[in-house]
Structure 1
Amino acid sequence: MVALRPAEQRPAPLFVSTSSTAVALAAPAKLNLFLEVLGRRRDGYHELATLMVAIDWCDTLEISLGAEGERYLECEPAGSVPCGPENLVWRAAELLADRAGRKAAGWRMRLSKRVPSQAGLGGGSSDAAAALVGLQRLWKLALTNEELLAMGAAVGSDVPFFLAAPVGWCTGRGEVVAEERMACPLHFVVVCPPVGLATSRVYAAVKLPAVPRDGSGVREALRRGEVSALGECLFNRLQEPALELEPLLGRLHRRLAQAAPFGACLSGSGSALFALCRSRSEAVHVAEKFLRQQPADEPRSRVVVVQSLAPDRTCKEKSGGHHGSAHQAV
């Protein structure tokens, strides 16, 4: 099945509904159009240079004020992600409460997961960014952007991007975000295999380049809206180790690359793959072709047609379901 997501979106996190006691936010996924690993850091992380774009495939986070000291996180589907302190949503809420002097403030949250975990799509980080933004609204906190970004970086490397989406050039361990310009919407086919990859395993296997690849070409192509040039510049240093760690990814990558006009690329540390297309109709055609050519012995992957978020669009994703989206069976 190819899932078609609504094109009308705006940056993340996205308020779906608000009141004085409750908010609902859509938390979008992201794709890495370029990712170079520059070296290892003393703190155990890797130094990166990556171009990230938010896409219109969203989780939903509903937040309401709770009784004093109350902490409650419900996750759907049940068992999809942890619902305790190990969840980045919980960690973000606790960090904000601590730094804002709101330790006694209670909260209740309901997280509806649609973006797969361990896929390199940033779903958990986006959910955490939504928690920070939502609680800031409910608690009426006058935080600066710098304060919010610093808290995001303390929760996870990708969280600051989702506080500054839809497009960003990210450096450091990924937490230093410089906003980028995007001349036109981008269309993608995203393939999510039925297996995930642990980020730590992929980074442990990466081979550092003697001469890092330069990202100026991909950034310029994005600014100019030159889709063909952008497609030629897609790159991810983590792709090689990810494909070596999970043989199924190699098979899927070869098939998607053959079906797509500009080949295929890994997002983040995987396991999701994506193909850039020139239009939504071309993306649908590529997705259908990819599914049509699936070998009988290959586990079925989730295939989704998405579009990049635009700054002046409104998110149609509603809480509790897939309202505003269309699904096309192939």
Structure 2
Amino acid sequence: MILRPRPDGRLLGWAPAKVNLFLEVLGKREDGYHELETLMVAVSLFDTLVFQEDESGVIEFRCDDAALPQGPTNLVVRSALLVREETGSRRRGVSIWLRKRIPVAAGLGGGSSDAAATLAALNELWQLGLPLPELAGLGAQIGSDVPFFFHTPMAVGRGRGERLTPLTLTQPLHLVLVCPSQGVSTTEVFSRLSPVAERQSIDGMLSVLSQGSSDRIGQFLFNRLESTACQLCPEIREVQEAVRGTGLAGPLMTGSGSASFGLAASRSAAIQAARTLRERFPGRVYVVRSTA
């Protein structure tokens, strides 16, 4: 994420999306969650947030997407309430404006990224002085993906996805994201997931990354949730067939869906593929790269 103060006292934040290059489900845990092993990369599709301290002590949230909840079920609001409660800052207030650009229910982590940006912004705006591990710990209470956005641009996630091992990406990745016309419920995808006899190993993916062979990443893309999500949203397969037809590596669904991506050899190749895909999926195609 990126935070920049303005002369008028407001704080601007840019919250990136993420994609999963690898996602395996290792089993169901006693707490009801699933044990995961995943590789996440932050990409250059951003929500924008504006934070301004409110001396009245009110937490006010507004968003340009009327479909998003505005109350305490919203992850931004939950994050603000949590950090205020956990730090004894109950009299502190903030006005938050969210300009939503990351598609929802797409597996791109937009809500989690917004939550992480909120925790980091309030830590700065309210001068709380919380260290990064503590912010990430608060984030884990909000959602499994939230801690990742304190460890971008790339990390392996284990546990629920919140136990992170940061990695270095030696070369930028160029991707084309395509969203179906409908989203997918994460809860429903996991509830329909069937156990598998043989698990996919992340070792091949980690090996090509350690060698700096980003051109071989496409050989090791994997997402255990993909087939289940496709049962709920058959349009995912339609999107992937179109992506494959452009010559991009992959494609692969990210997270629990419904967005898929293909990997391009260069930005110009990504732009060319996106031009073709936009004829079929207008308004739902994004050219992005891994963030620095």
Which TM-score applies when normalising by structure 2? 0.96
3-state SS in 2 of match to 1:219: helix
- The question of whether the paired residues in 2 share the 8 Å contact of 1:228 and 1:262 is answered with no
Which position in structure 2 is the counterpart of 1:165?
152
3-state SS in 2 of match to 1:50? strand
Q: What is the deviation of 1:28?
A: 0.4
Give the aligned residue type for 1:309: T
Q: 1:302 aligns with which of 266, 276, 284?
A: 284
SS in 2 for 1:121: coil
Deviation (angstroms), 1:261: 3.3
Q: State the distance in 1 between where 2:126 and 2:242 align.
A: 49
In structure 1, stretches of 5+ residues that fail to align are 1-12, 311-330
**In the TM superposition, what is the alpha-carbon distance from 1:212 to its structure 2 partner?**
1.4
Matched, 1:49 2:37: yes
Q: Which residue of 2 aligns with 1:178?
A: 165
Question: Residues of 2 paired with 1:143 and 1:18: CA distance?
Answer: 21
Residue 34 (structure 1) aligned to one of 22, 25, 32 = 22
User: How far apart are residue 190 of structure 1 and its match?
Assistant: 0.2
Q: Please say if residues 244 and 250 of structure 1, whose CA atoms lie closer than 8 Å, have aligned partners that are also in contact.
A: no
Amino acid at match of 2:43: I
| Corresponding residue of 2:80 | 93
Match runs of 1:146-157 below 5 Å: 146-157=133-144
Q: Matched residues in 2 for 1:96 and 1:286: separation?
A: 43
TM-superposed deviation, 1:142: 1.7
Q: Does 1:25 align with 2:41?
A: no
- Higher mean C-alpha displacement, 39-48 vs 244-253: 244-253
Say whether 1:187 aligns with 2:178: no
Could you list the per-position Cα deviations for residues 237-265 of structure 1 after superposition, in whole angstroms to 9, with x for gaps in the alignment? Answer: 01111111111112111221222332300
Distance 2:129 2:201 in 1: 39
Q: Give 2:260's aligned residue.
A: 273
Mean Cα displacement is larger for which, 52-61 or 203-212?
A: 203-212
Which amino acid in the other structure matches residue 288 of structure 1?
R
Match 1:210 to one of 197, 200, 212:
197
Letter paired with 1:137: E
Deviation at 1:67, TM superposition (A): 2.4
Distance 2:187 2:46 in 1: 25
Mapped to 2, the partners of 1:224 and 1:278 lie a distance apart of: 17
8 Å contact 1:182–1:224 — kept in the other structure?
A: no
* Residue in structure 1 matched with residue 53 of structure 2 by the alignment: 65
1-side partners of 2:169 and 2:211: how far apart?
A: 7
When normalised by structure 1's length, the TM-score is 0.85
For residues 178-206 of structure 1, the C-alpha deviation after alignment (integer angstroms, 9 at most, x for no partner) is 10111100000000122110101111122
Contact 2:278 2:284 in 1 (8 A): no
Higher relative contact order (CA 8 A, sep 6+): 1
Shift of residue 21 of structure 1? 3.4
Letter in 1 for 2:60: Y
SS at match of 2:19: strand
> How far apart are residue 231 of structure 1 and its match?
0.6
Which is further off, 197-206 or 117-126? 197-206
SS of aligned partner of 2:250: coil
| Amino acid paired to 1:33 | L
Structure 2: how far apart are the matches of 1:52 and 1:19?
34
- 1:317 aligns to what? none
User: Could you tell me how far 1:223 is from its partner in structure 2?
Assistant: 3.0
Kindly, what percent of the aligned residue pairs are identical? 41
Output the CA distance in 2 between the equivalents of 1:301 and 1:252: 13
Name the count of aligned residue pairs: 292
Of the three residues 192, 196, 206, the one matched with 1:219 is 206
1:139 aligns with 2:126: yes
Question: Which whole-Å deviations, capped at 9, do the CAs of 1:20-68 have from their partners, x for residues lacking one?
Answer: 8320100000000000000001111110000000001000111111023
Per-residue CA deviation, residues 131-152 of structure 1 (Å, 9 max, x unaligned), is 0000000111121222111101
Superimposed CA distance per residue, residues 246-287 of structure 1 (whole angstroms, 9 cap, x where no aligned partner): 111121112212223323000000110100111101111222
Matched, 1:199 2:156: no
C-alpha displacement of 1:104: 1.2
